[in-house]
Structure 1
Amino acid sequence: MASVNSSSPAAPVGSPSSASPTPAQWLRVNAARSGHWPRVAILAAALSTLLLLVQAWAIATIAQRMVIDAADFSTLLVPLLVLPCAFIARGLCARLKTLAGTRAGILVRQSIRAELLQRLGERGPLWARRQHSATLGNRIWDQVDALHGYYADYRPQMMLCALIPLIILVAVFPLNWAAGLILLITGPMIPLNMAMIGWGAKSLQEAQFREMNRLGRHFLDTVRGLPTLKLFGIGRAQAASVERISEDFRRRTMKVLRLAFLSSTALEFFASVSIALLAIYIGFSYLGHFSFGTWDHGLSLFIGLFILVLAPEYYQPLRDLGTHYHAKAEAEAAAEDLIPLLARDAVDGEIPPARGWRPPERLGLRLHQVVARYPGQLRPALDGLDLELRPGETLAVIGPSGAGKTTLLNVLLGFLPIESGSLASDAGEPLADLAREEWQRGLGWVGQRPALIKGNLADNLRLAANGEVDDAALWRALEQAQLKPWARALPRGLDTAIGEGGQPVSGGQARRIALARAFLRDAPLTLLDEPTASLDVESEELVIDALDRLRRGRTLVMLTHRLELLRLADRILVLENGRATACADFATLSAPGGPLAYLAQPRGLQHV
């Protein structure tokens, strides 16, 4: 679990890195996630280049024999048959290269997105609540997707920029060293231009991501606050604000696109000039003005045409790299935001590895002088708390707002590391020695707002199960939570979709689904946060009956202010300003002079 003592705060499994990598380093390291697909893409492109040599030979041979040699048609059969075969084979290679690159990008995105979601889970709900959901959504989806072009296109193209020109130079230099020298000298002009444009593209892409985050946050806040905006009659003004921000985002997008088009135009210009230089040399050689570079065997039509067919393909990998260079800038801008989220040292401290700990059938806790503080807060939320929770005991926790009740649950759940003190099981085993996942397998949870995932009723129940469970176990849990009649009446029973887009679920029914999960999980320690809050009388009675069954044989810690639940508790812990002011049974605390004495009066409240 998350460490719950001062020496070992919460962290994901694995040692933290000593220093954050640069975006370029991070992108290179994560290339291993793409498997063998980049090599397949490179091999397909290399094979296509070799087929290009065959294609150029066939074209040059046909022209030489028809125009210069005036050869018989029978001598053209071989190149005429080879030429369409080379065309078709090159098309298949291009298809394979595209598919392999796409598959590489998909694998990297899936892997990084899965790790990102794991990291968010390791940080826990306390960290997530401090983040804007639109920003997190943008990073999980848009910024991870921004990595695709880098791994699918840019990285394989980097290798091809060296491999393909080298193959062509090896073919050209033995025929004409001057043509090879022209290719060799003019080639670097394209990546040099590409690099200069790329410097500006990265800064524009970073600004674009920031603006996208801002637009997402603004739009989500507007949607969430729409009822309030309409109530106060400022919906139109807010619509104008959204329009203004959207227009600003459009202008920024057009700046990025203009730069991309400028890059492509510049690359085409330099490639065209380079090919023109080569064509001028060959043309003037045919006119007799140039007599160098031929290795003393002259410049035939075959040689000149062969070189001219290869020349565009010599520059094509460099042009493609320039076209994909914006993908590198986009990926590096996305990596700037993803690195802090994925870094193992981003989650406070370090946790021990899993060591096979299994929850006992009955579990108690011992807290000694526990101090817990939220990040950025001066005053501790728990200040020197001492508590011994006996196995099988039901403990109710009460206190005014800000007393530390929710903080106590966060500490027990492993989401908030403690600053000092100690927390151990009743057997004396420090929880700091346990991995977070191991500890949480021994916990059940019932919150005020139970989360219903998209799926059917069975999916929502199995969410909490420790291992595989059959339908019979699901029906038993529903029966214990007083939900079996409702589930029987559903159109498809356990297979009925519930929640958004499915069968509507009331607040009381959602609370009892959470209780059914707790029965199904059968954890030795169950934590509950206001299990009857905001329920009608009938739903509250059903929940209380279910809680009475749940507490048998289990240790329960529940935050509540309801009198009926206080009477279920073996002891009641009273918190104030993070300190325990009293801890005893209901009879003792409600006796004259006790903190709950007013409840014993004839007009005692039902809500503490």
Structure 2
Amino acid sequence: MPRDLRKPILELLSGSAARTMRVSSGLAVGSNMIWLLQAYLIASVVSGMLAGDSFSWTQPEISGFLVLGFTKVVLSYLSDKKAAEVADAIQDDLRREIIGLEASATGASFSFGAGATAALLIEKVALLRPYLLRYFPARIRTMVVPVVIVFIAFYYSWAVGVILLITGPLIPLFMALIGWAAQNASEQQMQEVSTMNDLLVDRVSGLVDIRLLNASRRVLSDFEIHAEELRIRTMAVLRIAFLSSTVLELFAAIGVALVAVFLGFSLLGEINFGSTGAPVTAFEVVWLLLLAPEFYQPLRDLSAAWHDRASAAAVAQDIHNWRDQVRAEIVRPTGRDGGAFLGLRARSLSVRRGEAVLKFPDIDIPDGSSVAIMGPSGSGKTTFLKAMVGLVELCSGELRSGDVVLSQTTIEIWRSRIGWMPQAPSFLNETLRYNVAFDETADIWPSLKVAKVDGVVSRLPDQDRTYLGENGAGLSGGEARRIMLARAVFASPQILIADEPTADLDRETANLIVESLNMLKRSGVTVIVATHDEVLARQMDQLIRIGGAE
């Protein structure tokens, strides 16, 4: 059974957006219906001229035609304006949702990469606009305007009504047949766009390694393969779009031609059947001839926008899949409660990571002591530390420091008392001073001295005013790690949590960090580190080993 492709799109239209789109569609229908009245006036003028009436007799019809034309323009403008407002609002809401959720997570989702998320945010969300501006109003017009025209046609000529009834349904029938192929092609194209973006992000992040390994040719070959695949997917979508438009234009042209031929021969007296009552007059012939193209126009507009609908359905499905991703979300504050910080105690902690649930041992860390957390890679050491900082939500359990329990109401005061030193250094494209203190006027030198990196900073071209760039240009791995320690120390934390502070460092540099951590402990700061470094672990007062997932 084919899927209901409207459901994922309509889920994006709710509340005021749905009401505004109904108003916009109603205005579009009203704009189309005005043409029926204008056609009536044109038929009156033409039939009057054929009957020999003077030009002055036609003045009211001309005035009425102009007034109706102005009204039609106004209704069309208002319809497009309201649809554009809904499209802009939906795009803005979706982009705020994506940015907000990604910013509140402590890492990328488990199946949506950074490139795919960026493609969804920038390229794919924008594809909802053509659907709302073109397809949605065209669908409503198709449900109303052709029905009214068919009733008018049957009132004057049942034969014309039959022609419209036979040729009209061929268009939606053909659209239904190509719809499945169009949707499938659009989904494949969207998936290839995401893959291409993820590939680009991955290769750019590893550009230095690619050059060192002399793998440029292979990387370019991969890009060429994926680019060709994207081209093939895109051309498949365009082939379906052009094929559908061409065939539907043919059906519409044949329908209008059949109506014209029948009415022409009827007016000449060559055909003596098909009229509902008396033989058709010049007025009726002209009016029905003007209405025939308008009968097919909403169907043609719908077919032209069919690709927009297929793309929007694919995007809506992508948004649905993105919302269903499992992420490690940061704890969000809902208030600000205070209290005294004394050590750290954890009871029955568990955190969800993907489909797995990590359970951690109960710990009691006295105020001013130091603890090393050890375990095999993948056992959840980093997740354990992030839980202590409030960077991931707990499935169960309680974290307490003195009389302060980690919760949404205490998270702000909790984070203000805890210093965090991540495993991977990260910098803003600002000065070193701003990267440490997030304040250009602050004095960061005491923190630099504690982190044993003041000598390094003093040798930089502009010392602490040196711009680092996002990659920490000018700093070695060990120096960057010590800048992260200085950042954590600057806030004067009562608890310092460090993730693999000595990983991948030579022994001399690692010893500098160990010395800094011991200095903090002697000053009364509670120090908690996750590490594989046995030398560092032996310097700590307590050792806690953790296992894996259940």
2:187 touches 2:311 (CA, 8 Å); kept in 1?
A: yes
1:414 touches 1:436 (CA, 8 Å); kept in 2?
A: no
1:529 to 495, 499, 508: 499
2:388 to 395, 412, 430: 412
1:404 touches 1:576 (CA, 8 Å); kept in 2?
A: no
Once residues 302 and 251 of structure 1 are traced to their aligned partners in structure 2, the CA distance between those partners, rounded to angstroms, is 52
2:339 touches 2:403 (CA, 8 Å); kept in 1?
A: no
Determine whether 1:59 maps to 2:42. yes
* Cα 1:534–1:138 shift into 2, 3 Å: same
Aligned pairs for 1:38-437 (under 5 A) are: 38-66=21-49, 68-121=50-103, 124-125=106-107, 128=109, 131-169=112-150, 171-292=152-273, 294-343=275-324, 346=326, 356=335, 358-362=337-341, 364-368=343-347, 385-390=361-366, 393=368, 395-397=370-372, 399=374, 402=377, 405-414=381-390, 422-426=397-401
* Pairwise CA distance, 1:357: 6.4
* Cα 1:414–1:285 shift into 2, 3 Å: same
* Cα 1:170–1:357 shift into 2, 3 Å: farther
Once residues 541 and 398 of structure 1 are traced to their aligned partners in structure 2, the CA distance between those partners, rounded to angstroms, is 20
Aligned-partner residue type, residue 372 of structure 2: V
Specify the SS of the correspondent of 1:61.
helix
* Pairwise CA distance, 1:117: 3.8
**Normalised by the size of structure 1, how large is the TM-score?**
0.70
* Cα 1:331–1:506 shift into 2, 3 Å: same
* Cα 1:562–1:479 shift into 2, 3 Å: farther
Once residues 241 and 222 of structure 1 are traced to their aligned partners in structure 2, the CA distance between those partners, rounded to angstroms, is 10
Please tell me the root mean square deviation across aligned C-alpha atoms, in Å.
4.9
Aligned-partner residue type, residue 543 of structure 2: V
* Cα 1:282–1:510 shift into 2, 3 Å: farther
Specify the SS of the correspondent of 1:147.
helix
Aligned-partner residue type, residue 363 of structure 2: L
C-alpha distance after superposition, 1:306-328 (max 9, x if no partner): 22222212211111111222222
Once residues 15 and 489 of structure 2 are traced to their aligned partners in structure 1, the CA distance between those partners, rounded to angstroms, is 38
* Pairwise CA distance, 1:527: 3.1
Once residues 415 and 23 of structure 1 are traced to their aligned partners in structure 2, the CA distance between those partners, rounded to angstroms, is 37
Specify the SS of the correspondent of 2:91.
helix
Once residues 190 and 369 of structure 1 are traced to their aligned partners in structure 2, the CA distance between those partners, rounded to angstroms, is 63
Aligned-partner residue type, residue 339 of structure 2: P
After alignment, is 144-153 or 548-557 more displaced?
A: 548-557
Number of equivalent positions: 533
Once residues 298 and 456 of structure 1 are traced to their aligned partners in structure 2, the CA distance between those partners, rounded to angstroms, is 88
2:163 touches 2:259 (CA, 8 Å); kept in 1?
A: yes
* Cα 1:351–1:273 shift into 2, 3 Å: same
Aligned pairs for 1:527-566 (under 5 A) are: 527-530=497-500, 557-559=528-530
2:419 touches 2:493 (CA, 8 Å); kept in 1?
A: yes
* Cα 1:197–1:542 shift into 2, 3 Å: same
2:336 touches 2:411 (CA, 8 Å); kept in 1?
A: no
Specify the SS of the correspondent of 1:30.
coil
* Pairwise CA distance, 1:361: 4.4
* Cα 1:86–1:506 shift into 2, 3 Å: farther
Query: Who is 2:542 aligned against?
Result: 573
C-alpha distance after superposition, 1:197-256 (max 9, x if no partner): 111111222222233333333344443444334334442343233223322321222121
C-alpha distance after superposition, 1:364-393 (max 9, x if no partner): 43224657785578xx9766x2311345x3
Once residues 454 and 75 of structure 1 are traced to their aligned partners in structure 2, the CA distance between those partners, rounded to angstroms, is 76
* Cα 1:323–1:206 shift into 2, 3 Å: same
Once residues 70 and 436 of structure 2 are traced to their aligned partners in structure 1, the CA distance between those partners, rounded to angstroms, is 55
* Unpaired runs of at least 5, structure 2: none
* Cα 1:461–1:226 shift into 2, 3 Å: closer
Specify the SS of the correspondent of 1:32.
coil
Query: Who is 1:28 aligned against?
Result: 10
* Pairwise CA distance, 1:425: 1.5
* Pairwise CA distance, 1:286: 0.3
2:331 touches 2:390 (CA, 8 Å); kept in 1?
A: no
Instruction: Point out which structure has higher relative CO (alpha carbons under 8 A, 6+ apart).
Output: 1
* Cα 1:452–1:58 shift into 2, 3 Å: farther
* Unpaired runs of at least 5, structure 1: 1-20, 464-470, 580-608
C-alpha distance after superposition, 1:244-280 (max 9, x if no partner): 3322321222121111100101111111122122212
2:337 touches 2:409 (CA, 8 Å); kept in 1?
A: no
C-alpha distance after superposition, 1:502-557 (max 9, x if no partner): x968575796578558756x876553335677899999989988997899787553
After alignment, is 310-319 or 558-567 more displaced?
A: 558-567
* Pairwise CA distance, 1:139: 3.4
Aligned-partner residue type, residue 557 of structure 1: I
Identity of aligned residues (%): 28
2:390 touches 2:411 (CA, 8 Å); kept in 1?
A: no
Once residues 542 and 111 of structure 2 are traced to their aligned partners in structure 1, the CA distance between those partners, rounded to angstroms, is 29
Once residues 308 and 178 of structure 1 are traced to their aligned partners in structure 2, the CA distance between those partners, rounded to angstroms, is 13
2:21 touches 2:82 (CA, 8 Å); kept in 1?
A: yes
Specify the SS of the correspondent of 1:31.
coil
Once residues 95 and 358 of structure 1 are traced to their aligned partners in structure 2, the CA distance between those partners, rounded to angstroms, is 53
* Cα 1:107–1:226 shift into 2, 3 Å: same
* Pairwise CA distance, 1:79: 2.9
Once residues 386 and 331 of structure 2 are traced to their aligned partners in structure 1, the CA distance between those partners, rounded to angstroms, is 19
Once residues 23 and 517 of structure 1 are traced to their aligned partners in structure 2, the CA distance between those partners, rounded to angstroms, is 50
2:91 touches 2:126 (CA, 8 Å); kept in 1?
A: yes
Once residues 23 and 547 of structure 1 are traced to their aligned partners in structure 2, the CA distance between those partners, rounded to angstroms, is 61
